[in-house]
C-alpha cells in the first residue's frame, strides 16, 4: 500500500513535466534530528542527545498548469546520528556511551507556491527508505527494522538567481519499528526521525 502511494505520487510528479517548464539542480545541507529513539519497551536507553547530520541529492521542479503552483520531487541521501547512554541488561554491567547512526533515502514530493519573485513555501509527503542503522558498541551487533516509511515536510525558502536556501520541518507519520538482541532479550524500539533541515540548492 505504501509503495503504491509512492508510485502514484511519482507518476503524477513526473507526468506534470510534459506540460510545464522544467528546472533541475542539486542540493545539500545539514539536519538536526530529535526523538530518534523513542517508545523503548525496556529501560535500556538514557540521555539521548541529538547530533547534526547531513543530506545531499538532486531535485526537479515544474509548474502545475492553471493552479499557479509548482511540484518538486527530490531524491536525497540523509545521514543522522544520536549520542545515547545504553544500559546493558546483564547484572553489574556499566552504562555505555554509544552513537546510533541512521542512513536513509528520502523522496519528498513537494507542492509549493512562489511569491514576490524570490520567496516560496511548500508542503508534501516524504517517502523514506532506511538503508542502514546501528550502534557502535559490540553489545548491540545488529539492528533490524522496517525499511519503508512515510513522513511530511513543510518549509519555506528564498531564491537569488540560481542559488536557493530553505528551512524545513520533517515529521514522521508512522513508526519505524526496530529491534536488537540484548543478551537473550529482543528489545523493540521506534527509530522514527523528526528533524529540522537547512538546505542550499543550485539550479542548472
Q: Distance (Å, rounded) from C-alpha 58 to C-alpha 177?
A: 28
Residue 46 is part of which domain span? Answer: 2-203
pLDDT band of residue 17 (cuts 50, 70, 90) is: very low
Give me the number of domains the chain comprises: 1
Tens digits of residue pLDDT in 58-92:
999 999 887 889 999 999 999 988 777 777 766 56
CA distance 135 to 97: 10
Query: CB 46: neighbour CB atoms within 10 A?
Result: 11
156-173 per-position pLDDT tens digit = 999 999 999 999 999 887
The rounded distance, in Å, linking the Cα atoms of 159 and 118 is: 5
Q: Is residue 28 scored above 90 in pLDDT?
A: yes
Helix (H) or strand (E) holding 101: strand 96-115
Query: Of residues 144 and 100, which shows the higher confidence score?
Result: 100
What confidence score (pLDDT) does residue 95 get? 74
Which CATH number characterizes residue 53's domain?
Answer: 2.40.160.20
Amino acid at each position: 500500500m505504501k509503495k503504491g502511494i509512492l508510485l502514484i505520487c511519482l507518476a503524477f510528479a513526473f507526468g506534470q513535466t510534459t506540460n510545464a517548464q522544467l528546472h533541475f539542480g542539486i542540493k545539500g545541507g545539514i539536519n538536526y534530528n530529535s526523538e530518534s529513539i523513542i517508545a523503548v519497551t525496556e529501560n535500556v536507553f538514557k540521555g539521548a542527545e541529538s547530533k547534526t547530520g547531513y543530506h545531499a541529492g538532486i531535485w526537479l521542479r515544474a509548474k502545475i498548469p492553471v493552479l499557479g503552483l509548482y511540484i518538486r520531487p527530490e531524491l536525497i541521501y540523509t545521514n543522522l546520528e544520536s549520542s545515547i547512554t545504553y544500559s546493558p541488561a546483564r547484572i553489574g554491567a556499566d552504562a555505555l556511551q554509544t552513537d546510533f547512526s541512521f542512513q536513509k533515502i528520502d523522496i519528498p514530493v513537494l507542492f509549493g507556491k512562489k511569491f514576490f519573485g524570490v520567496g516560496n513555501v511548500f508542503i508534501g509527503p516524504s517517502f523514506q527508505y532506511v538503508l542502514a542503522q546501528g550502534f557502535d558498541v559490540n553489545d548491540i551487533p545488529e539492528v533490524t527494522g522496517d525499511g519503508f516509511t512515510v513522513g511530511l515536510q513543510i518549509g519555506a525558502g528564498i531564491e537569488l538567481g540560481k542559488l536557493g536556501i530553505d528551512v524545513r520541518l520533517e515529521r514522521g507519520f508512522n513508526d519505524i519499528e526496530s529491534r536488537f538482541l540484548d543478551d537473550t532479550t529482543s528489545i523493540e524500539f521506534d527509530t522514527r526521525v523528526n528533524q529540522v533541515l537547512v538546505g542550499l540548492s543550485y539550479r542548472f
